[in-house]
């Protein structure tokens, strides 16, 4: 497992460590083991807003974005060891963690698990998919001794 972090915003001083916890845990939680590769960009709100506008047509910052290298069906093994790319924004993550009364590190790990599951084909476009994805995230975070991020409904109402 290779996680390459690209730090564009120096406030992401601990992103290597957090990504090194979250991404392997998400892969293990999905039943995957092997020489997979993920790139993580630690950026600010301005950069992620530009990426969000370019790739999703939404000219606003968001917490995390992901780009799978290939279309995948959840539960199937990836054909390509390069799973894809993730971008995560420091200001939005800090704001959300503070608003939700959650430790910043736990929130970032959750978002990286969430994004990794997207790389593996999971989605939350409809209620059934959202429920399955939330259950996977909760299970993976529990294995890391982190609380259920959906327990209070804050993230659900935020559209995550």
Q: What is the CATH number of the domain that holds 82?
A: 3.40.390.30
Task: Report whether 8 contacts 44 (CB < 8 A).
Answer: yes
Q: What is the pLDDT at residue 159?
A: 41
Domain extent for 100: 2-157
pLDDT recorded at residue 76: 87
Q: Give the pLDDT confidence of 80-104 residue by residue, as tens digits.
A: 999 999 999 999 999 999 999 999 9
Angle formed by the axes of helices 127-143 and 104-119, to 10°?
Answer: 130
Region 127-148: what's the mean pLDDT? Answer: 96
* 148 φ/ψ angles, rounded to the nearest 5 degrees: -65, 115
Question: Which pLDDT value is given to residue 77?
Answer: 87
Instruction: Give the number of domains in the chain.
Output: 1
Task: Please tell me the distance from the alpha carbon of residue 102 to that of residue 54, in angstroms, as a whole number.
Answer: 30
The whole-angstrom separation of Cα 1 and Cα 27 is 9
127: pLDDT confidence band, cut at 50, 70 and 90? very high
Confidence bin at 153 (pLDDT 50/70/90): low
- Span 99-117, average pLDDT: 97
In a 3-state reduction of DSSP, which class is residue 155? Answer: helix
Burial class (CB in 10 A: 0-12, 13-18, 19+), 76: exposed
| 13-30 average pLDDT score | 97
Please provide the average confidence, as pLDDT, over all residues in the chain: 93
Q: Is 107 annotated as a binding residue?
A: no
Is 118 a known ligand-binding residue? yes
- Work out the pLDDT band at 154, boundaries 50, 70, 90: very low
């Amino acid at each position: 497992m290779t996680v390459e972090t690209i730090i564009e915003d120096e406030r992401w001083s601990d992103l290597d460590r957090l990504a090194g916890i979250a991404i392997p845990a998400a892969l293990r939680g999905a039943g995957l083991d092997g020489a997979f590769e993920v790139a993580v960009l630690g950026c600010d709100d301005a950069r992620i807003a530009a990426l969000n506008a370019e790739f999703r047509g939404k000219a606003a910052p968001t917490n995390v974005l992901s780009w799978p290298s290939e279309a995948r069906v959840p539960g199937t093994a990836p054909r390509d060891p390069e799973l894809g790319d993730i971008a995560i924004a420091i200001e939005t993550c800090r704001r959300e963690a503070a608003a939700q009364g959650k430790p910043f590190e736990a929130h970032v790990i959750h978002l990286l698990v969430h994004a990794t599951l997207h790389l593996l084909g999971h989605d939350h476009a409809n209620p059934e998919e959202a429920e399955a994805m939330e259950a996977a995230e909760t299970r993976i975070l529990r294995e890391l001794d982190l609380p259920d991020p959906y327990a209070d409904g804050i993230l659900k109402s935020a559209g995550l």
